Structure 1
């Protein structure tokens, strides 16, 4: 462990929160492929964590349909994380889910010194509640403004305008996942590239009040090619 200004760098947490749309429109192949893709991405996240020993990768999941709820509420170290399949029902209350995230980006419960959290939003539709109020709640927290954000649009009905506003950075774009193979590739990329970006120390410190509130693009999203699968 090396002592640096502002505290030791070893084992600073990276809180990674999945925000998953489990509305009724995800029924069938979409929800099955989402469960499969996240389960298959966990070993790659574990490998990224091993390659970044200064970061302690902690995973959680929120699902949102008619209500938003914690699927994995307590932060779990990636090496101990086990995926539990989600199931679809109801509408698309994204705003409620964003409010849940905002509550976790206060200090406390977030520590004073940490690496940037990651918020990964996956949706196949349009919100059915006041999602902008939830987004404002995130922006009102120092950790929310600092977070690495990733958005994945599943299928042609996903509201890409909403996902773009969530990203809060004109240099970034939502990832398009219009087939099972594209969804698997998007989940795999989001699970690894975002963690790598979050694991990099911020110039000037790693507290909620340190560094720029609107960081430059922390990653370069790939362009996912077409394939022979059915298109959503």
Structure 2
């Protein structure tokens, strides 16, 4: 563990980026409202996890994509100060464009070589309408893109899980399937707490992780009986 002169623990930045689909199909059956609610509900839990890991400075931002992509929260924001502004849905699904924008932010600079592996959370309900492969290639061309913990959440049965699996890039990690608001809340909370805790823990910095993963990924929460019978998406 790095120590600053005088004995103070040196914190290392951990960038957590939401990559959120807000294409027109997200306006159906309350999907976009459920996503807004799930992220907002997860924030207090996310702050608590960050407070318990003083060796990591958790910095959060969000990218939204539809017809093109743009930063929803552009500045890397300390999780204690991060506020969620509701997304609205329209347009197509330019995921490749979004991944190119994330790749630009994972270069050195603006990233530093002493950061912890970033956490990238991709949430989508459809199929890319632009060149996804080029965007993924740009992301993986950056060392911090390759080292990132990449998690994907599929909203509804129309989501392209093959594309989401390519984004994850590890055979043991599968896209999380959310077919109703309860499942979405559960998945969002998991990535905001269990995955964040693992990524910011001393174990992840020591490199004590399974082969092919940059941090140990905790087991995903178990699907409830209600979720199994309540598919609305």
Q: Tell me, yes or no, whether TM beats 0.5.
A: yes
User: Whole-Å Cα distance in 1 between the matches of residues 79 and 133 of structure 2?
Assistant: 31
Name the CA shift for 1:157/1:226 in 2 (closer, same or farther; >3 Å).
Answer: farther
User: Whole-Å Cα distance in 2 between the matches of residues 70 and 213 of structure 1?
Assistant: 33
Name the CA shift for 1:30/1:133 in 2 (closer, same or farther; >3 Å).
Answer: same
User: Whole-Å Cα distance in 1 between the matches of residues 2 and 112 of structure 2?
Assistant: 19
User: What is the CA-CA distance between 1:136 and the residue it aligns to?
Assistant: 0.8
Q: Which ranges in structure 2 are unaligned for 5 or more consecutive residues? A: none
Name the CA shift for 1:217/1:146 in 2 (closer, same or farther; >3 Å).
Answer: same
The aligned residue for residue 174 of structure 1 is 175
Counterpart of 2:205 (choices 182, 202, 205) is 202
How many residue pairs end up in the alignment? 224
The aligned residue for residue 218 of structure 1 is 216
After superposition, give the CA deviation of every residue in 1:125-184 in whole Å (9 maximum; x if it has no partner): 110111111111111111111111111000010111111111010010111100010111
The aligned residue for residue 155 of structure 2 is 154
Contact 2:207/2:215 (8 A) holds in 1? no
User: What is the CA-CA distance between 1:3 and the residue it aligns to?
Assistant: 2.1
SS in 1 for 2:164: helix
Instruction: Determine which structure has the larger helix proportion and give its number.
Output: 2
User: Whole-Å Cα distance in 2 between the matches of residues 42 and 120 of structure 1?
Assistant: 14
The aligned residue for residue 208 of structure 1 is none
Tell me, yes or no, if structure 1 residue 27 matches structure 2 residue 5: no
The aligned residue for residue 79 of structure 2 is 78
Name the CA shift for 1:184/1:146 in 2 (closer, same or farther; >3 Å).
Answer: same
Contact 2:148/2:214 (8 A) holds in 1? no
After superposition, give the CA deviation of every residue in 1:188-222 in whole Å (9 maximum; x if it has no partner): 111112211211343369xxxxx999426731223
User: Whole-Å Cα distance in 2 between the matches of residues 114 and 93 of structure 1?
Assistant: 28
Name the CA shift for 1:229/1:107 in 2 (closer, same or farther; >3 Å).
Answer: same
User: Whole-Å Cα distance in 2 between the matches of residues 160 and 69 of structure 1?
Assistant: 23
Query: Which range is displaced more, 54-63 or 216-225?
Result: 216-225
CA RMSD of aligned residues (A): 2.2
The aligned residue for residue 188 of structure 1 is 189
Q: Which ranges in structure 1 are unaligned for 5 or more consecutive residues? A: 206-210
SS in 1 for 2:206: coil
Contact 2:210/2:216 (8 A) holds in 1? no
Query: Which range is displaced more, 19-28 or 220-229?
Result: 220-229
The aligned residue for residue 15 of structure 1 is 15
Query: Which range is displaced more, 34-43 or 193-202?
Result: 193-202
User: Whole-Å Cα distance in 2 between the matches of residues 175 and 93 of structure 1?
Assistant: 21
Where does structure 1 differ by over 4 angstroms across 4 or more consecutive aligned residues? none
User: What is the CA-CA distance between 1:230 and the residue it aligns to?
Assistant: 4.8
SS in 1 for 2:205: coil
